[in-house]
Amino acid sequence: MSQERDTQTVFMEATYRALCTHGYADLTMQDIADETDKSKAALHYHFDGKDDLFREFLAYLHEGFAEKIADHPDGSPVTKLVALVRRVLDPVDDESDQQFNTAFMEIKAQAPYRDGYREILRRFDADLRTEIADLVREAIDAGQYDEETAPEEVAEHVLTYIHGTWTRAAAIGADVVTMREHLIDDLLDMLVEDATVPVSAEPPDAPALAASGGDISDEDADDGTVAGDAGIEGAEDDADSGYDGDDGDEVTLE
């Protein structure tokens, strides 16, 4: 990738790490610069303040999210749909991922106050809705769901439910897996009432879930935050990959 693109990526990954550490509300440009070997002035050269940086960061997250939700396993449309729901409502064990999910909720809460945030967040919604509706449509074409099923309405319901799961997990630590499996076992079945293949008959894709079967307990209620709300868990692992430390394209402004 180009030098410019490289530097941009370094700042995006630094923003991810800084968010995990500081949350959104208290985060400063200095905190982000501190996650790189660049100066705060260098950051200000690239971004016109925190709002500008976060518009870029949301677009970067959206790119990862769009790839993630389109990355289907092999199988029938219903298999893909259930896997998609499990992918966007994947409980995370890693502390920094939990911190990121919490920070992402802060960003959503700031959206009404910040220029341009809502527009990008709407793209997350639109893409996820389209992906769900397309899979429902494919399931109808494949004879898995009754042809009376309304793809757009199912997608809208599932989307709202997914948002509720994210919010309850982040705000009060409600258990993601319980809510997610309710969605898959009960709601999805009902939304496509005449499914010839009940969605709940699809095996979970995670071994741990297969073992627990339908008997999802509440034991990890306080740990059940969600992964991949924005789809870039693990970004910190390759934060500096491909970056050679050349600061030549930056100008100190202060």
Q: Tokens 């970056």, residue?
A: 243
- The answer to whether the Cα torsion of 227, 230, 231, 233 is positive or negative is negative
**Closest approach of Cβ 202 to a second copy, in Å?**
20
Q: How far is the CB of 122 from a second copy (least distance, A)?
A: 5
Of 193, 238, 247, 249, which lies in the binding site for a second copy, with binding defined by CB under 8 A? Answer: 193
The one-character DSSP state at 227 is E
Q: Does 149 bind a second copy (CB under 8 A)?
A: no
Does position 153 bind a second copy by CB under 8 A?
yes
Residue 84 CB-half CA count within 13 A: 30
Position 57 contacts a second copy (CB under 8 A) = no
Task: Report yes or no: 33 and 75 within 8 Å, Cβ to Cβ.
Answer: no
Distance between CA atoms of residues 179 and 93, nearest Å: 17
One of 108, 140, 151, 202 touching a second copy (CB under 8 A): 108
Contact (Cβ atoms closer than 8 angstroms) between residue 32 and residue 18:
yes
For a second copy, the binding residue among 73, 75, 164, 213 (CB under 8 A) is 164
Least distance from a second copy to the Cβ atom of residue 165, Å:
6
CA angle 156, 16, 130 (to 5 degrees): 20
* C-beta closer to a second copy: residue 164 or 203: 164
Please give the C-alpha separations between residue 247 and each of 7, 98, 202, in angstroms, as whole numbers: 9, 32, 51
d(CA 92, CA 200): 22
- 131-139, 185-193, 198-206, 235-243 -> range binding a second copy (CB under 8 A): 185-193
We find the least distance from the C-beta atom of residue 77 to a second copy, in angstroms, to be 21
What crossing angle do the helices spanning 77-88 and 151-172 adopt, rounded to 10°?
Answer: 20
Taking the least distance from each CB to a second copy, the nearer of 190 and 206 is 190
Q: Which is nearer to a second copy, 63 or 156 (CB)?
A: 156
Near a second copy by CB under 8 A: residue from 7, 9, 144, 165 = 165
Residues that bind a second copy (CB under 8 A): 23-25, 102, 105-106, 108-113, 118, 121-122, 125, 153, 156-157, 159-168, 170-174, 179, 182, 186-187, 190-191, 193
